[in-house]
Amino acid sequence: MGLVRRRPGKHGLLIALLFALCSMSGCKQRSWPLWKAYEARFLSSDGRVIDRTAGGCTTSEGQAYALFFALVDNDRTTFDRLLRWTQVNLAGGDLATRLPGRMWGQAKDGQWELLDPHSSADADVWMAYTLIEAGRLWNAPAYTSLGRAMMAQIAKSEVADLAGFGPMLLPGPGGVRQQQTLTLSPASMPLFVFQRFAAIDPAGPWGQVAANFPAMLAESARHGFAMDRVNYIPGDGFSPAAPIETVNNASETPGGSRDAMRVYLWAGMIDRGSPVRAQVLNAIPAMNAYLAKHDAPPQNVSDQGIPLAQDGPVGFSAAVLPYLRAFPGSSRQSARQTVRIGRMRDPSTGLYGKDLATYDQILVLFATGFIDGRFRFGMGGELNVDWTR
């Protein structure tokens, strides 16, 4: 009776076996519908990621993440288009000697050009990491050389030795300083990226940055919530800082919101065998506790660690999924966010949220790609992708 007695034909057995093998170990080339939907809406034919919620501009951060997703999807053609556009338009034709400018878009005179030539560490570390891993996974040394050249530039201009603390990554060249105060961005420091950099360049500052990160996070978090930006004052330590800038260049108060969500995302992706994983997660446990009683992450958390009432967008729910799964007994919180994400999917585009914001899609791509096993970060920060298995 039913499935137990039924004897499927050879064709059915082959399909069942193939499905089982793919479920256990990952197929070499699985379709990634969300990445294809993202490409269709946001990626131009020449390799530019268009932020349609910000006047059609392009950021180095958007380019860096797209390069990573193209690598995860084993799409070298798209990868090369993205890389070519980035080099030509953001780095004066050569990423080996110039870190990419932060923003490209339409100037007041109507011309499309590089609007902000200053580099952003958020983008730079991801781009360098992705190039190095692309070189290894695709056996293409030119990518590796370019990534290593970017690492050298980052070490020279975007890493500072904080007096009384040690080396840390700055948001950009020289950092943002006011007298003795230096502003940092916890979201720009994915621990696994710096673990990988340290393995490639043991003489560089990367191992120290990775070792210092948990302490910086623990001291700067407020009541267990991550902050967008933090100030460091020698002798006084870390405290929440106002954002360096916003999309509309308006002033905002210190706290945790858009950028802080990536801190939770990166924390949940640290390899389970890493000895510092528990330190990172123990520094920011409050979001897990909050979501045990609430349906969505808050849009904002004050600099005193007080969540405000408004729910964050769909990307916030995605960002916390790997993080929640790292906590024992958080299955209910995780399920609630998964349901919320599903409800906010636009079936006509395959994308997420009411306004289909670029940043929301990026967070969903990272979170679901990780949870689905398309990629993982190893003990040494190396990228493991399902198409190599």
Q: Which of 61, 73, 133, 158 is catalytic?
A: 61
Q: Interior CA angle at 149 toward 97 and 166, to 5°? A: 110
Q: Which two tokens stand for residue 376?
A: 């993982």
Q: Is 122 annotated in the active site?
A: yes
Q: Is 124 annotated in the active site?
A: no
Whole-angstrom distance, CA of residue 249 vs CA of residue 107: 16
Instruction: For residue 130, give the nearest of 188, 186, 196 by alpha carbon.
Output: 196
Q: Which of 39, 73, 75, 122 is catalytic?
A: 122
Cβ atoms of residues 288 and 330 within 8 Å: yes
**C-alpha distances in Å from residue 225, one per residue of 4, 322, 362:** 50, 16, 22
Q: Rounded to 5, what percent of the chain is helix, strand, coil?
A: 45, 15, 40
Q: Interior CA angle at 123 toward 34 and 314, to 5°? A: 40
**C-alpha distances in Å from residue 178, one per residue of 175, 181, 233, 242, 310:** 10, 5, 10, 13, 32
Q: Interior CA angle at 166 toward 152 and 60, to 5°? A: 40
Backbone angles phi, psi at 43, to 5 degrees: -105, 125
Sheet of 237-241, strands arranged across: 176-178, 181-184, 229-233, 237-241
Q: Which two tokens stand for residue 36?
A: 């294809």
Cβ atoms of residues 365 and 35 within 8 Å: yes
Catalytic residues: 61, 122
